[in-house]
Structure 1
Amino acid sequence: MEVKATTKYFAEFIGTMVLVLVGCGSAVFAGGHIGFMGVSFAFGLSVLTMVYTIGPISGCHINPAISISMTVAGKLSTQDALGYIVSQCLGAAVGAGIIYFIANGNPDYDISANGLAANGYGTGSPDGYSMIAGLVAEIVFTALFLLVIFGATSEQAPEGFAGIAIGLALVMIHLVTIPVTNTSVNPARSLGPALFVGGDALSQLWLFWVGPIIGGIIAAIIWKSLFSK
């Protein structure tokens, strides 16, 4: 049975909200306890669980870079891509808003000091990496992420394991790139926290749209040109 477009869009809204709520929430609420490794697994596990929850409904993109890449690869219509991206951005904003509301329940929390797990470069980078370093990291690791997604969801891949491969790939990417940009590879994930943090997080947001989208397009071209039958 064909799924209604509005149902798919709502699934993308929910999935992206969960990604931000769990991933960014782990950094804001528990980062001091679980460290970079724990945050990496929180992001990966959120995607893994959502793949099996909303994957049958929308494909579980929960990431504008994925939706654009799938459109370039001919796997998603332009109309659905636009609906997905709007839904993902709204879901990310709601997820970030929930984190911000809960965080304010701690009298020691200050968004200007503690942040909201926003992405950044330069002074916004956890380890002070430059804009160029951040851009290259976002392009390369988004491309790698999309190649995993294309491969894990291809007809030749073992059935039922795509969510595990995709979730673990996101863990892998976070383990490497959190010190560089706080890891985006997802424009919606970057948008949500930036809306509340403002300042540099908002002014630097362009990089976390441009980088992942370029990376996703590169992956789509590589997959179609070299690996797709």
Structure 2
Amino acid sequence: MKKAIAEFIGTFTLVFIACGAAIFAGSVIGWAGVSFAFGLALIGMAYGIGPISGCHINPAVSLGVFMAGRMTMPEMLQYWAAQIGGAIVATLALSIIANGGTDGNFAGNHVMDGYTIFGGLLFEIIATFLFLVVILGATQVGAPAQIAGLAIGLMLVAIHLIGIPITNTSVNPARSIGPALFQGGAALTQLWIFIIGPMIGAAAAGMLFKSGMLEADK
């Protein structure tokens, strides 16, 4: 239960801070500012709840960790429930604070004009794969654990810098589900992209670590 509570709070924080930055300050801070909001929120939670749950705050991360053999299926399912719940409650809080002032924009994910559905899906697969390579590599035995949160957070910043103009960047099904339920439209009809894509990328990375191909020599 302690881990589930930590994951709920961590995912709530990520969505509340980062999606909130996009909703309320996006026109001022731009893509770069929103990118850093995601990364800094993750870094903060990595050190805040990392010692309790590992700070997955992302169903794709939990899947990658499971595929790498580092957690059980019941534990993964518990994490998923907490993460999705945290994302939904965070978006609800943003909706109440906005009091209708978002014009229906809750920083939901959708493929932007000029890009194809396949292109958006491919981006989410590749970006999540690379994200999980950093996460699983930085947290494996022998890695400098003290700076893992920093490396992971900066990787999330980099992913958002390239991905915001393509899909508004997900690499996190929970982060997509919460806003989609409130925003509707393309964020909801295209939600499958932001569930399937990250899960495929995360599973691929997890399997590579499970096979030993990306595990450091003991």
Q: Which residue number corresponds to residue 109 of structure 2?
A: 119
Extract unaligned runs of 5+ from structure 1.
1-5
Shift of 1:95: 0.7
1:49-88, Cα deviation, whole Å (9 max, x unpaired): 0000000000100000011111111101100100000000
Cα distance in 1, alignment partners of residues 126 and 100 from structure 2: 38
Extract unaligned runs of 5+ from structure 2.
none
Q: Does residue 27 of the first structure (1) align with residue 22 of the second (2)?
A: yes
Cα distance in 2, alignment partners of residues 201 and 151 from structure 1: 32
Q: Which residue number corresponds to residue 3 of structure 1?
A: none
Shift of 1:105: 6.4
Q: Does residue 157 of the first structure (1) align with residue 157 of the second (2)?
A: no
Q: Does residue 13 of the first structure (1) align with residue 3 of the second (2)?
A: no
Q: TM-score, normalised by structure 2?
A: 0.96
Shift of 1:130: 1.1
Q: Does residue 58 of the first structure (1) align with residue 18 of the second (2)?
A: no
Cα distance in 2, alignment partners of residues 7 and 159 from structure 1: 21
Shift of 1:101: 1.2
Q: Which residue number corresponds to residue 103 of structure 2?
A: 110
Q: Does residue 94 of the first structure (1) align with residue 89 of the second (2)?
A: yes
1:138-174, Cα deviation, whole Å (9 max, x unpaired): 0000000000001111122123000000000000000
Shift of 1:98: 1.0
Deviates more, 1:212-221 or 1:97-106: 97-106
Misfit runs of 4+, over 4 Å:
none
1:103 corresponds to which letter in structure 2? A
Q: Which residue number corresponds to residue 130 of structure 1?
A: 116
Match of 2:44 among 23, 34, 49: 49
Any idea what SS the aligned residue of 1:161 has?
Answer: helix
Match of 1:209 among 195, 203, 206: 195
Cα distance in 1, alignment partners of residues 103 and 170 from structure 2: 22
Report if aligned partners of 2:21, 2:34 keep a CA contact under 8 Å in 1.
yes
Report how many aligned residue pairs link the two structures.
Answer: 215
Aligned-residue Cα RMSD (Å) equals 1.1
Shift of 1:199: 2.3
Q: % of aligned pairs identical?
A: 54
Any idea what SS the aligned residue of 2:74 has?
Answer: helix
Q: Does residue 227 of the first structure (1) align with residue 217 of the second (2)?
A: no
Shift of 1:192: 0.4
Shift of 1:201: 1.3
